[in-house]
Amino acid sequence: MPYQLIEFSVEAGVATIAFNRPERRNAMSDEMRSEFAGALETVSRDKAIKALVLTGRGNAFCAGGDISGMKRRLEAPQGEVAFNGWSRQQGVHHVQSLLMGLPKPTIAAVNGAAAGLGADTALACDFVMGTERSKFTWSYIKRGLIPDGGGLYFLPRRVGLPRAKELIFTGRVVEADEAVALGIVDRRVAAPDLLPAAQAWAAELAQGSPTALALSKKILNETFEHSAHDIFNLGSQAQAICYTSAEHRDAVTAFLAQSASKD
């Protein structure tokens, strides 16, 4: 599909999606969200794509939800505000679920401010890479709102419950150094190196079996919601699938051939 508000490219098995509304600090409009969802679906189903890097054009990663969209919702007839908001939430959660559940490694390359929904979107990725310019804020409280893009789920898993409460209750800005210290950012590089470093890391993460990666990620994403017994059961089912995969067969065959050549 043609994209106007994002950029989408694939090189050597690594897809890169860049939010492309730099004049609006990449604020997420309904139209951008639709394009983003379409690109994520392409990444998910294309077997030639092994990993994803998500970034923003200009000086920001994503400034959150588009305020003009909030204004339109408030101007709707009173009897329609709640349902319109509910409908929008379904779209937001669909995209965040697509990103979180993508059966491939994902990296947010946070090139600037990630605010509100932008911060939630970064944490929906498996890993976050930042620079000295990266900053994060769960600023929903300043709009009279709660985090609706997964921040209530992702942030406590990154920083612990008390710190997540503090960041969400205050909406304060977390600068780059603190983001690294808190575990919001996994790796920090110099700003000019951000995108190539993230793409190289994505390529490294994608070298393993796609089957094993997808199944491991699915179970890991559910680890805190299940008992050890549940995880054992999920792992048994996943391992049975891995036993039948071409990657497992090829790896075992290659190992045995290598061992035989040494005898």
pLDDT digits over 214-232, tens only?
999 999 999 999 999 999 9
Q: Are 185 and 176 contacting, i.e. CB atoms less than 8 angstroms apart?
A: yes
Q: What is the tens place of the pLDDT at every residue in 70-83?
A: 666 667 787 777 77
Give the Cα separation of 67 and 90 in Å (integer).
18
Q: What is the pLDDT of residue 260?
A: 82
Give the pLDDT mean for 190-213: 97
pTM over 0.85: yes
pLDDT at 67: 72
Residues 6+ apart with CB under 8 A from 35: 1, 3, 4, 5, 6
What does the pLDDT read at residue 8? 98
Average pLDDT over every residue of 67-71: 68
Mean pLDDT (whole number) for 127-141: 98
